[in-house]
Amino acid sequence: MKRIPERPGLTLHATDNRVEVERARHALQMAAAGKRVAVVSSGDPGVFAMASAVFEALELGPEAWLALDIQVLPGITAMLAASARIGAPMGHDFAAINLSDNLKPWSLIEKRLRLAGEAGFAMGFYNPRSKSRPHQFARALEILREACGGETLISFARDVSKPGETITTVPLNEARPEMADMRTVVIVGNKDTRRVGRHVYTPRYAPDCTPDYVSDTAADTVSGDV
């Protein structure tokens, strides 16, 4: 709520981030009563955020809510904001994993970490380490070293876009659990991720392919008079 300036006609409803569905249900109730409502998330609302909670509440709510005009407005998720600061560590296939076990068992998180690492995905991690579960990120690092190799680069991006922003990149063998907290996005490359100057990037091609430097995405380079 601190990021939303107060103005006449605007009512702010602050809630705890552990009651997402209740917050979403409250928003839908107000919208059904004729109010114009915005559910605010940091980053992108569709990535580990409030958009999914709204639709979960919608599915469980009264049928009349299905007629509401609901729009999801995209933002920049923390993983991509951090990636831009680092360089292009997500330049090839990647996976995003929330390391919190509040909504899924830790055994499933371990399985996803191992399989994504063995498959050669770059990975972005949300909620890596909290005061209530400091030991789990240490275990995550063990799994990543086994699956990805100790020389694979890992980046810790803390408070991205804020005054206290810090970016630290080290090989997995040098990573320590205390390098991450709940204000940190962690990005692990694959075995081909490398440094170029002060940047880190993952090549767009797999090592067993010969790159032809023709991108699948549309892009134009313009020179001369435009």
CA-CA distance, 10 to 199, in Å (whole number)?
Answer: 43
Average pLDDT over residues 68-89: 96
DSSP assignment of 33-56 equals TT-------SS-TTSSSHHHHHHH
15 pLDDT tier (thresholds 50, 70, 90): confident
Q: So what's the pLDDT on residue 12?
A: 86
By percentage, how much of the chain surpasses pLDDT 90?
A: 73
Check whether 212 has a pLDDT greater than 80: no
pLDDT by residue (tens digit) across 3-13?
A: 778 888 888 88
Q: What is the pTM of this model?
A: 0.82
Average pLDDT, the chain: 90
pLDDT tens digit sequence for 154-175 = 999 999 999 999 999 999 999 9
What pLDDT, on a 0 to 100 scale, did the predictor assign at position 220?
59
pLDDT value of position 141: 97
Using left for φ > 0, alpha for ψ between -120 and 50, and beta otherwise, residue 74 falls in beta
Integer Cα distance of 58 and 24 in angstroms: 8
Q: Say if residue 206's pLDDT is above 90.
A: no
Say which residue, 37 or 133, is predicted with more confidence.
37
CATH superfamily of 1-75: Tetrapyrrole methylase, N-terminal domain (3.40.1010.10)
Confidence at residue 167, expressed as pLDDT on a 0 to 100 scale? 96
Q: Where are the domains of the chain?
A: 1-75, 78-201
Please state, in angstroms and rounded to a whole number, the distance separating the CA atoms of residues 157 and 53.
Answer: 26
**Tens of pLDDT, residues 116-131:** 999 999 999 999 998 8
Q: Lowest mean pLDDT: which of 17-26, 105-114, 137-146, 190-199?
A: 17-26
Question: pLDDT (tens digit, 9 = 90+) per residue, 40-73?
Answer: 888 899 999 999 999 999 999 999 999 999 999 9
At residue 221 the predicted structure's pLDDT band, cuts being 50, 70 and 90, is: low
The architecture CATH gives domain 78-201: 2-Layer Sandwich (3.30)
**What is the reported pLDDT for 6?**
84
The answer to whether 1-75 and 78-201 have equal CATH topology is: no
Q: What is the dihedral of CA 37, 43, 48, 54, to 10 degrees?
A: 10
pLDDT category of residue 224 using cuts at 50, 70 and 90: low
